[in-house]
């Protein structure tokens, strides 16, 4: 549906008619704007009826004026109502990509995969459900790196996670550094919205920041941390169904529980991909996506068409009235 943003501009439509009437009714006004010295010769060259017909063709200019007034009134159309998601959470993901994440003790669709592959599959689905939140991504091993700052662009966050590789940040595990980096980027946000989801399969074996120092920072800046210990029971099914050691690091569950309890978060244990998916379902309930903002309509300007038609008709009208005016007639010798 097309409406006019400035309908009051249409009040200018009768202005040319009012101006013309005012000139005609003014005492002593000049009746003719153009005086031709040899009008009889002009009538003879063009014909009396042709001049009369030309004088009644003011419709192109009148229509052009109407279209220009319509363009000035700003015709607009509105798209379908759309709900704009409104974020209530600033959620940072910290994912362990140390060497121990290569242990193949997770199962997806009946196929054994390493821990990081399982994390990518489950976290990707989790991100799709967090529309409206700002989410950032930290990858950590021996060092912690901010891969994606807090952003509404969740496909970019998912892409950075999916393209990550085991050992990209070093072979060891710097949990303290990951927490410190997350606090640094969350501390300027609203206090109720500072949430960190920390996923690891090992113990804090590297980094410049110890766990106690990292916890003190998190408590001071009121960052709530949910911790996830990922990994099987240390064994995997091998040849002929034999259970073999997976080679993964032991999880420091006591430390992860302490991190969660001291910051107001929760600790989860994920021994397989099904448990990991259930963990993110629970985090969805703990950190709900807020309701959508009031719906809005996208406005599109439609003045271009009447403006272009008006300009064309104006040029046509001026050319029409100028075409019949002949060059100066010379008296025959």
CATH superfamily of 90-286: von Willebrand factor, type A domain (3.40.50.410)
Confidence at residue 209, expressed as pLDDT on a 0 to 100 scale: 87
Two tokens, residue 185: 């980027």
Question: Is the per-residue pLDDT at 192 higher than 70?
Answer: no
| % residues pLDDT > 70 (the chain) | 70
In tens, the pLDDT along 69-98 reads: 888 888 888 776 665 555 556 789 999 898
From CA 152, how far away is CA 154, in angstroms rounded?
A: 6
Q: What CA–CA distance (Å, rounded) separates 232 from 93?
A: 21
- The Cα 79–Cα 305 span in angstroms is 18
Q: Above 50 in pLDDT, residue 279?
A: yes
pLDDT band of 178, cuts 50, 70, 90:
very high
Which tens digit of pLDDT belongs to each residue from 118-169? 888 888 878 887 777 788 999 998 889 999 998 888 889 989 988 988 888 8
**CA 16 to mean position of chain CA atoms:** 47
Q: What are the distances in angstroms from CA 255 to CA 13, 144, 307, 328?
A: 78, 18, 70, 103
**CB burial readout 296-310, b (16+ within 10 A) else e:** eeeeeebbeebeebb
Q: Compute the average pLDDT of residues 60-73.
A: 84
Residues of the chain with CATH 3.40.50.410: 90-286
Q: What is the mean pLDDT of residues 97-106?
A: 83
Residue 47 backbone zone (phi > 0: left; psi -120 to 50: alpha; other: beta):
left
pLDDT confidence bin for 48, thresholds 50/70/90: very low
pLDDT at 240: 43
Total-model pTM:
0.58
Residue 142 vs residues 121, 178, 181, 325: alpha-carbon distances, Å: 24, 10, 13, 89
Cβ burial of 81 (10 Å; 0-12, 13-18, 19+) is exposed
- Of the listed ranges 5-19, 59-73, 74-88, 220-234, the least confidently predicted one is 74-88
- Between 34 and 316, whose confidence is greater? 316
Q: Is a pLDDT exceeding 90 seen at residue 328?
A: no
Tokens of 209: 């920041």
Which token pair is 174?
A: 């710097």
């Amino acid at each position: 549906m097309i409406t006019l943003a400035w309908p009051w501009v249409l009040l200018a439509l009768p202005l040319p008619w009012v101006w013309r009437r005012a000139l005609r009714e003014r005492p002593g006004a000049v009746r003719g704007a153009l005086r031709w010295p040899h009008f009889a010769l002009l009538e003879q060259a063009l014909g009396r009826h042709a001049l009369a017909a030309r004088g009644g063709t003011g419709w192109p200019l009148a229509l052009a004026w109407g279209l220009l007034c319509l363009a000035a009134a700003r015709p607009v159309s509105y798209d379908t109502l759309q709900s704009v998601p409104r974020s209530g959470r600033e959620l940072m993901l910290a994912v362990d990509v140390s060497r121990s994440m290569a242990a193949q003790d997770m199962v997806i669709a009946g196929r054994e995969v390493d821990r990081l592959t399982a994390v990518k599959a489950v976290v990707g689905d989790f991100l799709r459900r967090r529309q409206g939140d700002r989410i950032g991504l930290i990858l950590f091993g021996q060092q912690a790196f901010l891969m994606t700052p807090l952003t509404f662009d969740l496909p970019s966050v998912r892409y950075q996670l999916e393209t990550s590789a085991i050992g990209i940040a070093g072979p060891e595990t710097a949990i303290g550094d990951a927490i410190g980096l997350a606090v640094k980027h969350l501390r300027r946000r609203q206090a109720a919205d500072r949430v960190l989801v920390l996923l690891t399969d090992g113990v804090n074996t590297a980094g410049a920041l110890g766990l106690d120092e990292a916890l003190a920072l998190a408590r001071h800046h009121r960052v709530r941390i949910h911790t996830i210990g990922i990994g099987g029971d240390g064994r995997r099914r091998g040849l002929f169904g034999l259970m073999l050691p997976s080679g993964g690091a032991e999880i420091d569950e006591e430390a992860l529980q302490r991190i969660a309890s001291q910051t107001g978060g929760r600790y989860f244990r994920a021994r397989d991909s099904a448990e990991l998916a259930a963990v993110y379902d629970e985090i969805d309930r703990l950190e709900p996506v807020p309701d959508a903002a009031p719906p809005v309509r996208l406005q599109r300007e439609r003045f271009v068409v009447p403006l272009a038609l008006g300009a064309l008709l104006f040029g046509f009208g001026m050319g029409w009235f100028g075409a019949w005016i002949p060059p100066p007639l010379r008296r025959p010798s």
